[in-house]
Structure 1
Amino acid sequence: MKYLFQLNHPAHYHLFKNSIKELKRKGHEVQILARRKDILLDLLKNETYDVLNVQKGKSLLQKIKLNKQAQNEILSYAQINRPDLIIGTGDFSYVTKKLSIPSVFCGEDDANLNLFIFAWALLTYGNFSSILAPVGVNNSIWNKKTTFYHGYHKLAYLHPNWFTPDKKIVEQYFSADKPYFLLRFAKLNAYHDVNAKGIDAVIAQRLIEILEKHGDIYITSERKLESQFEKYRLKINALDIHHVMYYSKLYIGDSQSMAVEAAMLGVPSVRFNDFAGKISVLEELEHKYGLTFGIKTDKPELLYQKIEELLSMPDLREEFQRRREKMLADKIDVTAFLVWFIENYPESARIMKENPDYQWRFK
């Protein structure tokens, strides 16, 4: 079989990288069509892939205009290469509509998170052949169409079956035994980040003042760093970030993606943005498992208070590893499930509709 993975963001590669590897190992032909986004092409350096030439726009109007160009390019690519199935997390539903090529959309955002996402869902969800999402995600009027599974996107690559932290990798850059903290500053300019705010220079400075008494500080940033923070910039191979994250004492950032990753690894995480209290996946990780904490941007003092509270917690690492184990016991091996779902599609979709418990075979 021939499978096309359409990737728009570094997180999409992490989500599918093990599935791609497994499908190739089983003798299938796998094609990758990727956007130039952040470090995505760096992550793909060991893969065979094609590049989507259209850039993403900066303004909303520009994004809409260029998105149409991207659609045409993806459609042309699919028309030439004729995959048996297209998989991804972006907008390629029109390929199914125009070329009758089946499509599987893997989503983790609630469809009703904000007006922009809901409008996007109205335009796309109806044309996807199947929608996959974690249990708990609210896909609104598309809940009946959605195949729900007990897992998270990030478990596809951070489940213990697929990821083993390596201290030696960290020690290529610095000591893994000395306490250190990982800070992440996102651009917050994606389609789901409309009107979102995060960590500014004043708050970043205060975080550093709190943390530097307890260990080293490393910053990974999508946005341009102010000059006073350059000395903290994390300079590593992008493929090594999860090893560095695993051995960190605490993650703080305005990126919800990395907050979920930290939770998957049992690393305490505090996220500071306007999505606190809104995203189902993070709400579950916070309120059911106690692995992450969301603070809204109008409450910076609460952010500092939560960090101080975590720093004073005895056996912090051991406690959060216990919380992680509880979470893992409730979840499946997402990559094993995805490979089965893709390889056996569309029969797999029918099986899951009739017997959702079938997924527990993938532990």
Structure 2
Amino acid sequence: MTPKLIVDFRHPAHINFFKPSLYLLREEGWNIDIVVLDRGKVPRIAAEEFPGFKIYRIGRHRGTKLSIIFEANMLRLLKMGVFLAIHRYHIGISVSSFILGAAAKTIGMPNLQFYDDPEYKKHFKLQKLTSTKTYYPKIKDFSTDIETFTALKEWAYLSPRYFSPHEKVLQEYELKKQQYIFVREVINSSLNYEDQDANIISTFSDLFPEGFKVVLSLEDKKAQRLYPKDWIILKEPVSDIHSLIFYSKLAISSGDSMAREAAILGVPSIYCGIREMTANRVLIEKGRLFHVGVEDCVEHMSKLINNEFGLVDQQSFINRLSDDWEDVTEFIVKRVKEFAKF
């Protein structure tokens, strides 16, 4: 019998997290289908990252609270239940998709949920309620029903075992190593960031250090008029965004995910968003991520460029992570095989 797996993607970072493990399982003969939330570029990125996989759109997220509550949750739950009843998989996996989890539980299908944000109390409770098993990075003491792995979840796809930077991407944007700053500006329509002001990096964009180009990953393209005209605004999906981050002098982000990604790639990273996250603290303690208020970002960028904090070189930092952290992709594959019923 061919084992069947269903995976739910609601955010681009979820696609990255599972990409290595899904290809490994597919090579071993697993039949894998993907469902995506119709949100921004998620369907397009999933299609580009997983050619040959069956991809289904279930639910929409238009960026409004009404859409989040009704289309992305209530209506999506009903549609997901019908979908699973028709297709019948042996197991489902997701990054905190309690929608997939609740639908799976109604038909007795095991589902595994991974996440790194215990501070998000509602999601945390819904995960425990709807998952067969929940997994978190070892960032705090959890109850015994939650299993942990020794790494952050971004390590699943940024470990040197699965990621190698390619200089070719620099040619696309006429960039040189270490001579540009990578910037990520997120929208504030998600529940995580609804209390954060919009386009906060734009408020000090005219004060960026001289002598460096700036590459901007701007989630809300309608706001590009707020930023300097000589900034390079990326058109997502980018062919190799993590290589762009890897070769930058430093990164600054108003969202937490890309701030962690940059730090894990050994790039000095400033997070200027409002969220206090235990996952971030891991990299703050390792001296690669800096949670800085908007009013202090310009000064902090200057200090990082001049290495006033005495940071170890990029490769040495990555080597330390490799020594300290386990292979998250192997962890995922092992748990899927353990819980799948077929």
Q: TM-score, normalised by structure 1?
A: 0.84
Q: Tell me: CA distance 1:45–1:317, structure 2 relative to 1, closer, same or farther (3 Å).
A: farther
Deviations 1:324-357 (A, max 9, x none): 322332101111221122122269xxxxxxxxxx
* Alignment CA distance shift 1:317-1:156 (3 Å): same
Match of 1:360 in 2: none
Q: 1:95 to 1:53 in 2, by over 3 A?
A: closer
Where in structure 2 are there 5+ consecutive unaligned residues? none
Question: Could you tell me which residue of structure 2 aligns to residue 101 of structure 1?
Answer: 109
Aligned length: 330
Shift of 1:217: 0.7
Aligned residue among 59, 63, 69 for 1:64: 69
Any idea what the Cα deviations from partners look like across 1:73-113, whole Å, max 9, x if unmatched? Answer: 11111111111000002122212321000010011111xx2
Deviation of the 1:301 alpha carbon: 2.9
Offset of 1:59 from its aligned partner?
3.7
State the percentage of identical aligned residues.
Answer: 21
Written as runs of structure 1 = structure 2, the 5 A alignment for 1:13-162 is 13-46=15-48, 47=50, 48-66=53-71, 67-89=73-95, 90-91=97-98, 92-110=100-118, 113=119, 117-137=120-140, 143-162=143-162
1:217 aligns with 2:223: no
Q: Deviations over 1:22-72 (max 9, x none)?
A: 000001111101112232222223422333242125343442222110111
Give the Cα–Cα distance (whole angstroms) in 2 for the partners of residues 77 and 332 of structure 1.
35
3-state SS in 2 of match to 1:225: helix
Are the aligned partners of 1:7 and 1:34 in contact in 2 as well (CA < 8 Å)?
yes
Unaligned 5+ segments in structure 1 are 348-363
Provide Cα deviations, 1:266-293, integer angstroms capped at 9, x if missing partner: 0111011111xx2111011102x11100
Amino acid at match of 1:157: Y
Q: In the alignment, does 2:250 pair up with 1:250? A: yes
Q: Which digits, 9 at most, give the CA deviation of each residue in 1:118-160, with x for residues without a partner?
A: 2343344222100011001565xxx321110001111111100
- What does the per-residue CA deviation read over 1:220-271, in whole Å, with 9 as the maximum and x for residues that have no partner? 1112324253542124652310111110111011011001110111011101
**Are 1:34 and 1:49, in contact at CA under 8 Å, matched by a contact in 2?**
no
State the one-letter code of the partner of 1:60.
Answer: K
What secondary structure sits across from 1:219 in the alignment? strand
Give the corresponding residue for 1:294. 291
Task: Note if contact 2:35-2:57 (Cα within 8 Å) is conserved in structure 1.
Answer: yes
Secondary structure of the structure 1 residue equivalent to 2:321: helix
Tell me: CA distance 1:344–1:123, structure 2 relative to 1, closer, same or farther (3 Å).
closer
Partner of 1:220: helix, strand, or coil? Answer: strand
Q: Deviations over 1:277-334 (max 9, x none)?
A: x2111011102x11100124xxx33222211111111797853443332233210111
Contact 1:186–1:222 at 8 Å: present in 2 too? yes
Matched residues in 2 for 1:154 and 1:78: separation? Answer: 28
Q: Distance in 1 between matches of 2:307 and 2:199?
A: 24
State the superposition RMSD in angstroms.
2.3
